[in-house]
Chains A and B, each alone.
Chain A
Amino acid sequence: MSKEISELNLPDDVKYTDDHEWARLEGENLKVGLTDYAQDQLGEIVFVEMPELGDTFEKKEEFGSLESVKAVSEMYMPVGGEIVSINEELSDAPELVNEDPYGKGWIIEVKPGDPAELDLLMNKDAYLEMLKGLE
């Protein structure tokens, strides 16, 4: 059973993409993960396909994928940039994406090529409006 929109955990301190990822500025880098809505939709995550450290991607380019017991879902860059860190813990514990999507379940850390791209992402209210549009 999927969560109701009112039950979703949507923190204020991250930005959101229309592919249901979040990005949080930590120092100069962006931490990126999956939103509570997306993890709930996909169900139990069983495998995370990661990029290599040092890979660079354009905004919106596919950087990896998540496999749940139900499906594989691709993940896309919220901004263009270089992969400077990946969450190694997910190889043994992919379920962290479900359990703590904005914390221990983070996926990659990106050094943005153009920090201004961050301003194009949605804030919580805009993302919430988008989710309501999907209902």
Chain B
Amino acid sequence: MESLLYTSSSGRQCLYVELPITDYREALELQRSIVAARNNHTLDCDVILILEHSAVFTLGRRGGLDNLTVSETFLEKKGIPVVHVERGGDITYHGPGQLIGYPIIDLRTLRLSVTDYVSGLEEIMLRTAADFGVAAERNPKNRGIWVGNSKLGSIGISIRHGVAFHGFAFNVNIFLEPFCWINPCGLKEVGITSLSKALSRTISMRQVRRRIRHHLSAVFGFDLVPIKVADLQDAAKKLVLQAAMK
């Protein structure tokens, strides 16, 4: 598995879209439309969305509100919505200062098993943490990356006809208090951390975005093609044409 992933040099073109702070539901609609286009072959290349979310709690397929330790009214007062989604896992929190990556990837054409793919996403976050001097690790029982008993990065993946979507969430400067209003990911007795907390200093999101991008390309062997979201459809068509002419 390791050799397959990390020596990969396929150089597959992959569209790379950087977004600013984006409402969760808006990003979800964008993801779903890309997955649909990937499934019906109007889009024939993979897409990675990189963004931050405005504050939101999300529930996975199994998620009940049991792991919410404050009332929904309390969240309403704070103006934080709760959204049900199709990813795996239980309740979690997203907010500004957390770097989100949504690779929308056809695992079949990438020839990756789900297990290898998730390991790859963990590897990207581990390497990025290491770039900033934080030694994070995998945990054999729980997905994501960890510093001691505290979670630094999370993973939640969904698969629709072989196309993976949702992805990873990496805590950079995110305000950690809202995580105390839940048992993160349904896990009791574990904490949450961020790069800033681990290093006791503020880390620039811009720098983290740069390192994440570097490792995404290195780990999966992607040739990342940056584009604006508005140009997504056009760019996808061009890439398909280029590939056909080769």
Contact = CB atoms under 8 A, between A and B. Distances in A.
Interface stretch (B10-18, B129-137, B153-161, B168-176): B153-161
A44 to B, nearest CB: 10
A19 B157 CA distance: 17
A56 B143 CA distance: 35
Contacts, number: 62
A43 interface: yes
A134 B117 CA distance: 15
A67 B88 contact: yes
B41 to A, nearest CB: 14
A3 to B, nearest CB: 10
Given A19-B161, A73-B159, A67 B62 contact: yes
Contact of A72 (B108, B116, B157): B157
Contacts of B108: 134
B35 to A, nearest CB: 11
A59 to B, nearest CB: 13
B59 interface: no
Interface residues on A, range: 20 to 34
A1 B1 contact: yes
A31 B74 CA distance: 47
Chain A interface SS verdict (over half): mixed
A42 B164 CA distance: 12
A109 B60 CA distance: 26
A135 interface: yes
B113 to A, nearest CB: 5
Given A43-B115, A134-B108, A72 B1 contact: no
B161 A71 contact: no
A41 B107 CA distance: 11
Residue among B62, B108, B113 with most chain A CB within 10 A: B113
B164 A71 contact: yes
Interface of B: 1, 60-62, 86-88, 108, 111, 113-118, 143, 157-162, 164
The 5 lowest CB-CB distance pairs between A and B, nearest first, are A71-B157, A72-B88, A73-B159, A70-B118, A41-B113
19 contacts: A2-B113, A42-B114, A43-B114, A43-B115, A47-B61, A47-B62, A68-B88, A70-B115, A70-B117, A71-B88, A71-B117, A72-B87, A72-B88, A72-B157, A73-B158, A74-B160, A76-B161, A134-B111, A135-B111
Interface of A: 1-2, 19, 40-43, 47, 49, 65, 67-74, 76, 134-135
